[in-house]
Amino acid sequence: MFRAVAGALRTVGGAVATVVTLPFRPPAELFGGALGGGRGTRRV
């Protein structure tokens, strides 16, 4: 039973983390690409 609760909390936590970080991803990729400078750090 504890494993089921832990799994549910892990799923909810992952969803919350995704929603919270979603607004910050485009600027981070933008600045990451600008700061990376073309050293092959950019993922496609």
> Do the beta carbons of residue 42 and residue 33 sit within 8 Å?
yes
Collapsing DSSP states into helix, strand and coil, what is residue 22?
helix
What per-residue confidence (pLDDT) applies to 6? 95
> Do the beta carbons of residue 42 and residue 36 sit within 8 Å?
yes
Q: What does the pLDDT look like over 6-44, one tens digit per residue?
A: 999 999 999 999 999 888 888 877 877 666 555 555 555
d(CA 10, CA 31): 30
Per the structure block, which two tokens stand in for 24? 């910050």
Q: Return all residues near 36 (Cβ < 8 A) that are at least 6 apart.
A: 42
